[in-house]
Structure 1
Amino acid sequence: MPRSRRSPLLLAGLLATSGVAHFAVPRQFDAVVPRSLPGKPRTWTHASGVAELALAAGLALPRTRKPAALAAAAFFVGVFPANVKMAVDWRDRPAPQKALAFGRLPLQIPLVLWARGVAKNQEGRV
């Protein structure tokens, strides 16, 4: 299968894995929910897990791939504040953890571009 045809499925796999992790190990996700959001962090953890699973399903199906890819790009932008919170909270941790937290910040850019690329590659397809 050519790379461009695998790309949506790889992105779907990434989102599905993350979505499942939100339910399997929710505590780590609860910790990065910005305090400014209303309600309990666990509610946001589960909601974002459901969103990731729904986006994964949408990306896996050709008929819904383009809107799901555009929604995934928006989702990656929307969760950026949680990554910023993690970097701020982990700034005094040991170097490997700090590197992980700060390293996640620029990774949002290729994720957004990847999702947009999947959407663009779907133009004209059914």
Structure 2
Amino acid sequence: MTTTPLQDLARVGLGTFLAGAGLSHLTFARRGFRAQVPDFVPLDVDRTVVLSGVAEIALGTALAALPSQRRRVGTVAALFFTAVFPGNVAQWRHRRDGLGLNSDRTRFLRLFAQPVPIAVALWSTGVLPLRRDGRTRR
């Protein structure tokens, strides 16, 4: 199945965003991302931030540069966004400031934003194809 130009734009945009976020894990926002690492992660907090940054760079690059693998990469990206959700919950539950999320309200509202990149990853790569009228195609 082919994707529309809008889906392709969203896929490349998401890939660019992911790669940029990954780079920020390794540089200027590294400390802020530490607030999102849940206590149950068995790795060192900083190592977790670095490894998740590397994963984001790889996923972002793959989304943008491998259109022939878009469905596979889109599925992996959606799974990645799902896998990091417990970090958002941990940041909210433990009241950890980081990345501009410095109140209970902003940390709580952030939880409801997580479905957006999951949906964009699936839609922009054609995993969740839509008909022209906006309904899911069977």
TM-score range, shorter chain: 0.7 to 0.9
Distance in structure 2 (CA, Å) of the matches to 1:101 and 1:41: 19
| 8 Å contact from structure 1 (residues 65, 122) kept in 2 | no
Distance in structure 1 (CA, Å) of the matches to 2:45 and 2:102: 25
| 8 Å contact from structure 2 (residues 96, 102) kept in 1 | no
**Which 4+ residue blocks in structure 1 deviate beyond 3 angstroms?**
none
Which of 97, 106, 116 is residue 112 of structure 2 equivalent to?
Answer: 106
In angstroms, what is the RMSD of aligned CA positions? 2.4
| 8 Å contact from structure 1 (residues 34, 81) kept in 2 | yes
Alignment deviations for residues 22-56 of structure 1 (CA, whole Å, 9 cap, x no partner): 01121111222111111201111011001100000
* Mapped pair 1:16 → 2:19: yes
1:98 Cα offset (Å) = 2.4
Aligned twin of 1:57: 61
> Any idea what SS the aligned residue of 1:31 has?
helix
TM-score, scaled relative to structure 1: 0.84
* Mapped pair 1:42 → 2:46: yes
Amino acid at match of 1:105: L
Structure 1 pair 31–122 and aligned structure 2 pair: CA distance change class (3 A): closer
* Greater percentage in helix: 1
Structure 1 spans left out of the alignment, 5+ residues: none
* Mapped pair 1:31 → 2:35: yes
